[in-house]
Each structure stands twice: as C-alpha cells, then as structure tokens.
Chain A
Amino acid sequence: DTAVSQTPKYLVTQMGNDKSIKCEQNLGHDTMYWYKQDSKKFLKIMFSYNNKELIINETVPNRFSPKSPDKAHLNLHINSLELGDSAVYFCASSHDRAGEQYFGPGTRLTVT
C-alpha cells in the first residue's frame, strides 16, 4: 500500500495555464505539507495543514492555493503558471506537528 501518493507524477503545461496536483495519505496522519524542490535540489516548505487547518503559509505567490477537503487529502492548485514554477513538488505527512515526515513520490512540473 502506498503511504503518500501524488497525481500526476509528471505535468507538462504552458505558461498561463491552471493546474492541480493531488495528494492523499493513508497513514492516518493529522498534518500534511507541500514542498517545492528546485533545480538545485533545495527543498522548501510551501504550506502545512493540521486537521484541515492551514498552519504554515510561507511566502508563496497567491497563484498557489492549497485545499484540504479532509485530513487525508491536500491538493495544490496553481493559477497562471509561470516558467519559474517548474520544479518538483512533494507532498508529505506526519503524525502530528513534530516528528518524521513521510513524503510522496513527487510531481515534476514543467512549464513551457
């Protein structure tokens, strides 16, 4: 059973489009995260939700909007995609606010 899953794995789209990435965890965790890993492999947190409530919102353009319909899901919607949005986006979850995080396989987004 996959613990943290993301769809799609690859996403190629043109500038200006709107796209969504979905994440689901079957670990029963309370906290979920979105990270962005750029071409230099730097992993930076974007958002964190705890029990469907937004608790961390880093300096991310308003074009990025997370949505957590329930504790097991955290989706990321991106409006008006730009070239600089090209990166690998990782979803992660943890049992509570502290402790080890379990990462999904990543979604490689390429904006052309």
Chain B
Amino acid sequence: SQKIEQNSEALNIQEGKTATLTCNYTNYSPAYLQWYRQDPGRGPVFLLLIRENEKEKRKERLKVTFDTTLKQSLFHITASQPADSATYLCALDAGGYQKVTFGTGTKLQVIP
C-alpha cells in the first residue's frame, strides 16, 4: 500500500542553522510533491511545489529536492529563525483526478 513517511520525531535546531526535513514514500509515483507549513490551530499553508522532472526548487530561504529514484524529498530551511517553528507537511499528488496524500508532518522547533 502507499506510504508516506516524515521524521516522526520533532526536530530541534539552533537559530541560524539549516533545518533539513525528510519525506520518503513507497508504492507511489507522484507527478508532483508539495510542502506545506501548519501552525497550531490553523490550516496548512502552501510553500513549494516540485514536479517529478525537477530536481530542485528554491524560494527565498527554502529549498526542496526531489529524487524519484530514492523516492525521497528533502526540505531545507537555511538561516532558520524561531518564526520558522511549525509543523511541515509533505504531500504527494499523482496528478489527474487522483487524490493528494499528506504525510504525518514533522514538527520543527528553532531554538533562539
């Protein structure tokens, strides 16, 4: 069956360092992979989308990589700030009329 795994444990990182979050999947051939941020008591907010034929995507301090051979995406936040503390969700989309499937999320805590 399809499975999406994100770091199950919370990730604590010192302010200014680069945070790296992992999204691994099995039994899936996504056309797109998306990353969202969710703060407590709020809905997820879209951050980045990367297509299966793209290796890397950047947006300001954010960088996403997508390796369809390893079936893995890495999400990096450079120069992390306490305001980056949140839960980050990866989502896989096979395209067409198929559903988007979300991972369980990784809680990131940036320590001042």
Contacts and interface: CB of A to CB of B under 8 A. Distances in A.
Nearest to A40: B104
Nearest to B44: A103
Interface of A: 4, 40-45, 48, 50, 55-56, 58, 90, 92, 97-106
A98 B93 contact: yes
Contacts of B49: 99-100
Interface of B: 31-32, 34, 41-46, 49, 87, 89, 93, 95-102, 104-105
26 contacts: A41-B87, A41-B104, A42-B102, A43-B44, A43-B102, A43-B105, A90-B43, A90-B44, A92-B43, A97-B95, A97-B97, A98-B31, A98-B32, A98-B93, A98-B95, A98-B96, A100-B34, A100-B49, A101-B34, A101-B44, A101-B100, A103-B43, A103-B44, A105-B42, A105-B43, A106-B42
